[in-house]
């Protein structure tokens, strides 16, 4: 009992420290007495806690997460969440350990990211029982849409009437404030004029006028989200994606991006979550320049994982130019994730290919060339506003399969191989892989959906009819069947190699501009895997002596099964072929 009492006191002190740092300026003169105790009570940590282990990796090379909307696959007469689980149960063959279901709550716009009610499941998708069913067999990732909510929500309607819950929940500013430095990803007006019972107010809208930013200066907002997190944990959520969290705290006269209070809020949520359910994870979704993104690791006390946002634009650029110099330079600049943290690697998502994370890595001319190439492949471009009133490309909206249908010279016959090569590179990298469902299926641009939805991001949010999807996957010659089979084969190999642990050692190799390579070594140093990809449309020779294979070992290429017996061998690497060369195939001892 004494030990438990000490642990409880230490946790209270820790939470109080977070609260003190978040509200140190107390801009709303809010009553903070007892707030730390309230937060522990809302998370049910006021009676029994489980102290978290420090610097523990809750993941292995066996982990891979699918990213999907709840209604991506539809079957008449069946709830979409039931259909979704049936698809993964049948087609993933146990190779996907987790599922990220994009916002499955009632919403008014932005395909779920304008939330009406955080506590409910959208009736058109199913119910909490269906969510819990998925969580019973897969590690479930859910979005905590923490920066904003719908202007049609009860909270906002109550805000307008100065009633609770909602009173004081939303950030307001004056048109006379200095907002010239605010960084945001849209070109719409930042402030929206609304009429309230207290007169005209101007609410802050980082993304759209239907997505009104919450005001975390008000502790009542913080308490609401702690309650939401506890509710999601109870329903089986084990991974929280903190959507757009970099914009959380606002201060006029600043960029209102990545402010210290925002980082402290992330630290607070980590403390609460890891004491509530050991192994529950936070992932920050911060689509910002690379060095700013890295800051969300903190000192291994903020996000467990961060989205590796620079990877998609750099990898696509590499494969359409046939030149890996920028990808190599970026790889060499990336610090290894400390134990207890990991990169979350992805190359496609429900959004487009973000360009901000490539700023400073690709020149303006190279970014312009990439945008031009993607436009020729049927993509669209979204823009963001600059301080000087001009706009700049922010995101390329295109399906990854179409993005990789050719090179800067135009479409060619290597589309499928180039697409699979992109995934082979991602699956070999340090980090946990996230695979968008439309990448698993090789889905093309959906122009009808863009027209019907009225926004560019819909191009990569196709909805499959389950029967038609099954028919496509049953035809071995179909692109969809080929893509799924080849990615699953890579996943099957990856999960058996200790050197592919998300925290295993990684070094970049220098093999010229047409061959991209890196070396992975298991954490016990027993297994090495050399990951070599020809990122060009030409056959390129590779001498095994160039990658420093140990001559006394028997080396095997994992994908083809070919053995190599000497360092003097020269391999003709085919266009977009990937080699995983190891000295210890199938070594997957628990680390």
Domains of the chain, each with CATH number or no CATH: 65-151+214-500 (3.20.20.80), 505-582 (2.60.40.1180)
What pLDDT shows up at residue 583?
A: 93
143 annotated binding-site participant: no
What pLDDT shows up at residue 47?
A: 65
| pLDDT exceeds 90 at position 567 | no
pLDDT-based confidence at 118, cuts 50/70/90? Answer: very high
427 annotated binding-site participant: no
Q: How many CB atoms lie within 10 A of CB 111?
A: 17
What pLDDT shows up at residue 2?
A: 54
Among 422, 319, 427, 328, which residue's Cα sits nearest to residue 377?
319
- The stretches of 145-200 forming alpha helices (DSSP H) are 154-161
Cα separation, 515 vs 542, whole angstroms: 9
| pLDDT exceeds 90 at position 585 | no
State the average pLDDT over residues 103-120.
97
Strand duo 342-345 + 281-285: pairing: unpaired
| pLDDT exceeds 60 at position 443 | yes
**Cβ contacts of residue 305 below 8 Å, gap of 6+?**
281, 282, 283, 284, 341, 342, 343, 344, 431, 432
pLDDT-based confidence at 589, cuts 50/70/90? Answer: low
Cα separation, 581 vs 559, whole angstroms: 9
| pLDDT exceeds 90 at position 93 | yes
33 annotated binding-site participant: no
Cα separation, 62 vs 235, whole angstroms: 24
pLDDT, tens digit, 9 for 90 and up, residues 243-289: 999 999 999 999 999 999 999 999 999 999 999 999 999 999 998 88
What pLDDT shows up at residue 590?
A: 46
Long-range contacts of 36-39 (CB under 8 A, 24+ apart): 36/12, 37/12, 38/223, 39/15, 39/222, 39/223, 39/226, 39/268, 39/272
| pLDDT exceeds 80 at position 27 | no
The token pair at 576 is 């977009």
pLDDT-based confidence at 303, cuts 50/70/90? Answer: very high
Which is more confident, 51 or 439?
439
| pLDDT exceeds 70 at position 388 | yes
What pLDDT shows up at residue 54?
A: 81
51: phi then psi, degrees, rounded to nearest 5: -60, 130
State the average pLDDT over residues 440-449.
97
The token pair at 559 is 């994908």
Catalytic residue list: 243
The sign of the CA dihedral 355, 361, 367, 371 is negative
Cα separation, 361 vs 310, whole angstroms: 9
| pLDDT exceeds 50 at position 591 | no
How does the average pLDDT of the chain come out, rounded? Answer: 94
The token pair at 382 is 């979204």
Cα separation, 11 vs 13, whole angstroms: 5
C-alpha 557 chain-centroid distance: 30
Cα separation, 7 vs 5, whole angstroms: 5
- The stretches of 92-184 forming alpha helices (DSSP H) are 128-137, 154-161
* Cross-strand partners of 68: 101
Q: How many CB atoms lie within 10 A of CB 32?
A: 15
The token pair at 357 is 């994370």
Cα separation, 483 vs 490, whole angstroms: 11
Cα separation, 463 vs 80, whole angstroms: 11
Q: CA-based diameter of the chain, in Å?
A: 81
State the average pLDDT over residues 493-511.
97
pLDDT, tens digit, 9 for 90 and up, residues 219-254: 999 999 999 999 999 999 999 999 999 999 999 999
SS3 478: coil
Cα separation, 154 vs 149, whole angstroms: 10
pLDDT, tens digit, 9 for 90 and up, residues 528-548: 999 999 999 999 999 988 887
**What count of residues does the chain have?**
591
188 with 205: CB under 8 angstroms?
Answer: yes
State the average pLDDT over residues 114-130.
98
Eight-class DSSP state of 261:
H
213 annotated binding-site participant: no
226: buried, middle or exposed (CB in 10 Å: 19+, 13-18, 0-12)? buried
494 annotated binding-site participant: no
350 annotated binding-site participant: yes
Interhelix angle 415-428/311-321, nearest 10 degrees: 140
What pLDDT shows up at residue 185?
A: 87
Among 227, 245, 349, 322, which residue's Cα sits nearest to residue 288?
245
Which is more confident, 357 or 52?
357
% of the chain residues with pLDDT over 90? 87
438 annotated binding-site participant: no
What pLDDT shows up at residue 548?
A: 77
Cα separation, 236 vs 143, whole angstroms: 13
């Amino acid at each position: 009992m004494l030990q438990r009492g000490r642990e409880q006191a230490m946790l209270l002190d820790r939470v109080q420290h977070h609260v003190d740092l978040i509200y140190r300026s107390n801009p709303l003169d809010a009553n903070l007495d007892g707030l730390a105790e309230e937060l522990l009570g809302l998370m049910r940590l006021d009676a029994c806690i489980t102290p978290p282990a420090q610097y523990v990796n809750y993941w292995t090379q066996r982990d891979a997460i699918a990213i999907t909307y709840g209604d991506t696959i539809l079957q008449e007469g069946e709830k979409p969440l039931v259909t979704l689980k049936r698809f993964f149960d049948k087609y993933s063959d146990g190779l996907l350990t987790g599922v990220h279901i994009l916002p499955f709550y009632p919403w008014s716009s932005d395909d779920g990211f304008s939330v009406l009610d955080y506590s409910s499941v959208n009736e058109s998708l199913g119910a909490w029982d269906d969510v819990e069913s998925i969580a019973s067999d897969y590690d479930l990732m859910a979005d905590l849409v923490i920066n904003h909510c719908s202007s049609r929500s009860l909270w906002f309607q109550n805000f307008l009437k100065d009633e609770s819950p909602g009173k004081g929940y939303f950030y307001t500013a004056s048109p006379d404030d200095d907002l010239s430095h605010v960084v945001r990803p849209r070109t719409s007006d930042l402030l929206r004029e609304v009429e309230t019972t207290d007169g005209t107010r101007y609410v802050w809208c980082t993304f759209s006028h239907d997505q009104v930013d919450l005001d975390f200066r008000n502790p009542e907002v913080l308490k609401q989200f702690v309650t939401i997190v506890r509710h999601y944990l109870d329903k089986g959520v084990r991974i929280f994606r903190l959507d757009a969290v970099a914009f959380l705290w606002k201060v006029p006269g600043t960029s209102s991006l990545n402010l210290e209070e925002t980082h402290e809020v992330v630290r607070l949520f980590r403390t609460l979550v890891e004491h509530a359910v050991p192994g529950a994870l936070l992932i920050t979704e911060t689509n910002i320049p690379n060095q700013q993104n890295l800051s969300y690791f903190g000192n291994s006390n903020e996000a467990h994982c961060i989205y590796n946002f620079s990877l998609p634009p750099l990898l696509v650029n590499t494969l359409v130019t046939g030149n890996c110099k920028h990808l190599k330079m970026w790889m060499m600049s990336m610090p290894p994730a400390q134990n207890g943290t990991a990169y979350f690697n992805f190359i496609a998502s429900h959004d487009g290919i973000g360009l901000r994370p490539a700023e400073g890595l690709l020149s303006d001319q190279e970014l312009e060339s990439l945008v031009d190439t993607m436009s020729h492949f049927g993509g669209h471009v979204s823009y963001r506003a600059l301080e000087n009133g001009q706009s700049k490309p922010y995101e390329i909206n295109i399906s990854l399969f179409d993005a990789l249908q050719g090179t800067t010279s135009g479409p060619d016959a290597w589309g499928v191989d180039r697409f699979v090569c992109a995934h082979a590179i991602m699956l070999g990298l340090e980090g946990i892989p996230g695979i968008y469902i439309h990448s698993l299926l090789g889905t093309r641009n959906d122009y009808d959906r863009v027209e019907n939805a009225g926004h560019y991001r819909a191009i990569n949010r196709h909805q499959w009819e389950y029967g038609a999807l099954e028919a496509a996957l049953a035809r071995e010659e179909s692109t969809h069947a080929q893509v799924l089979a080849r990615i699953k084969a890579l996943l099957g190999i990856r999960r058996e190699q200790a050197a592919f642990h998300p925290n295993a050692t990684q070094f970049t190799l220098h093999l010229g501009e047409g061959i991209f390579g890196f070396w992975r070594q298991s954490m016990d140093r027993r297994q090495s895997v050399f990951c070599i990809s020809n990122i060009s449309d030409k056959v390129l020779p590779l001498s095994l002596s160039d990658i420093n294979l140990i001559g006394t070992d028997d080396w095997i290429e994992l994908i083809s099964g070919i053995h190599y017996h000497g360092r003097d061998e020269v391999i003709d690497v085919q266009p977009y072929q990937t080699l995983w060369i190891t000295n210890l195939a199938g070594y997957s001892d628990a680390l």
